[in-house]
Amino acid sequence: MKKILIISCVLMGFAMSAQNPQTKKITKKFFPDTEEVLNTTPALQKKRGFTDYEELLDFLNNLVEKYPDQISISFIGESQKGREIPMVKLTAPNAKEKIKVWMQGGLHGNEPASTESMLYLLDRLLNDESYADILNNVELAVVPMANIDGYLKNNRYAANGLDLNRDQTKLMAPETVVLKKAYAEFNPEVAVDFHEYRPYRRDYARMGDFGVTNMYDAMFLYSGNLNIPENLRNLTNGLFVENARQLLDKNEYTHHPYISSTKHYGDIHINQGSISARSSATNNALTNTISSLIEIRGVALGKTSFKRRMHSSFLIAVSYLRSAAENIQLVKDEIKKATSQENDVVINYERGVYKDKVQFIDVSAAEYVEFEMTIRDAWKAKAKLKRPRPKAYIIDAKRTLLIEKLETLGIKVRYLDEEKDYEVEQYIVESYSKKPIRYEKMKLQSVEVSLVKENKTFPKGTAVIMMDQRRANLASIVLEPEAPNSFVSFGVLETQKGETLPIYRLINEAQ
């Protein structure tokens, strides 16, 4: 009996250390836990594990019971395992013009501080008078546990194995569809997606004598995609991220723009920022919204420094809410300005590449170390392929799958009520290749197209996507065939060499 007990303890000890790679020395020196967070959320009220589904619903229902005028729950749809996904809306019942802010956590199921900090945020906004200014000016929607099935298994992916933060243009997971619909319906001016990142990566284990670890409490990911109007990119970084950075500094938490390692011909490079419309930071920004994704240092750390992780996440949430509450008119005006711009569509791009010093924590020495590394920077991206912005895109009415996905993304689709002649550009597929291995359950296609002008008669019922709408930039990115996250690239619209695509560009004003 005794022997078995010892063996199981050893096994458990091994399993624990395999799960959490961080030494106590590093935790104590760089990431001591904080007492700034009250034990008001479910995971803080128990020794082991994180908030489960029943605890989540109980927690939200208790708030609704206590504050029925300020908070309400609805369910946006079901997870693949049939669990209803709650969304809460908060605001003060006054007649003031408000700004709408969307926040979500738990899109990746193994990033528990993201969900827990959303619950803590709800608790504080309602129970602490000092946040009353926020709800007086903001209408807030929160989806605290976006990927419930993954969350309950502490697993990054949805039940069918899809990564919900790579699925936002092909829209294959039911969770993505309901989240995008709820997002479009709410129609926020500001959107923040809370995550945690993995500080111990295989690439980092190869650096230094015995490996290094990422040192930042928080990293900010705001998109460098060139189709996002420059005024919104500047407002995101210059106001929202900047205010959050200052609040973290005041609380002595470290932060940095988002970085992650990437392999480049066998060498380890650093990717900085993101451009990719399949992920939330860019996808939401392409709806002409102030958008950020927040990465907190936490994946695989269990409950180590859990309150510290929650607290840094919470401070960022509060900062974004205050920035929104204090700049309602400015943000609305800039979104309007962004929506009236008529820039070219940037279809493909190259990241800026340069060398710079990057700081880490050396794992064995428990000291800061610095390496000169190659940075591939999304915020210094240059356009590789551009095309003039059309007045509209036109899609054959039979292509219902494409049209349905556009509508899920909140893109407005009009239907011709009579037959019309238009001069359009057609896409002819000049070169074609298909990846043999699946990525996120799809075989990626890559194409080169030529554009051919033609007068074409479109029957009644043909779908028209006008480009003077707020989500036009997102429409371009899924409809221009060579764009890396387009319907064609992801194989949603299958094609082959020599084909004419069922998508057309309207160059002159539609009558």
Q: How far is the CB of 108 from Zn ion (least distance, A)?
A: 3
Q: How far is the CB of 193 from Zn ion (least distance, A)?
A: 8
Q: How far is the CB of 261 from Zn ion (least distance, A)?
A: 16
- Residues touching Zn ion: how many (CB under 5 A)? 3
Residues 137-196 that bind Zn ion (CB under 5 A): 195
DSSP per residue, 46-93:
SSSS---HHHHHHHHHHHHHH-TTTEEEEEEEE-TTS-EEEEEEE--S
| Residue number, 237 or 279, with CB nearest to Zn ion | 279
| Residue number, 203 or 407, with CB nearest to Zn ion | 203
| Residue number, 288 or 305, with CB nearest to Zn ion | 305
| Residue number, 108 or 303, with CB nearest to Zn ion | 108
Euclidean distance between CA atoms 177 and 171, whole angstroms? 6
| Residue number, 156 or 405, with CB nearest to Zn ion | 156
Establish if 201 lies at the interface with Zn ion (CB under 5 A).
no
Q: DSSP state, 441?
A: T
Q: How far is the CB of 486 from Zn ion (least distance, A)?
A: 23
Q: How far is the CB of 158 from Zn ion (least distance, A)?
A: 13
DSSP per residue, 456-486:
EEE-TT-EEEETTSTTHHHHHHHHSTTSTTS
| Residue number, 111 or 167, with CB nearest to Zn ion | 111
Nearest to 277 by CA among 475, 431, 458: 475
| Residue number, 219 or 239, with CB nearest to Zn ion | 219
Q: How far is the CB of 163 from Zn ion (least distance, A)?
A: 9
The string over 94-108, giving b where at least 16 C-beta atoms fall within 10 Å of a residue's C-beta and e elsewhere, is eeeebbbbbbbbbbb
Euclidean distance between CA atoms 407 and 331, whole angstroms? 25
Euclidean distance between CA atoms 25 and 157, whole angstroms? 31
Binding mask 94-123 for Zn ion (x = CB under 5 A): --------------x--x------------
Q: How far is the CB of 176 from Zn ion (least distance, A)?
A: 14
| Residue number, 98 or 195, with CB nearest to Zn ion | 195
| Residue number, 213 or 274, with CB nearest to Zn ion | 274
Euclidean distance between CA atoms 152 and 154, whole angstroms? 6
Binding mask 421-450 for Zn ion (x = CB under 5 A): ------------------------------
Euclidean distance between CA atoms 59 and 43, whole angstroms? 11
Nearest to 110 by CA among 60, 74, 75, 147: 147
Say if residue 437 is exposed, middle or buried (CB neighbours under 10 Å; 0-12, 13-18, 19+). exposed
Sign, CA torsion 311/317/318/323: positive
DSSP per residue, 296-331:
EE-TT-TTTTHHHHHHHHHHHHHHHHHHHHTTHHHH
Q: How far is the CB of 113 from Zn ion (least distance, A)?
A: 11
Q: How far is the CB of 340 from Zn ion (least distance, A)?
A: 34
Tokens of 345: 């569509």
Binding residues for Zn ion, per CB under 5 A?
A: 108, 111, 195
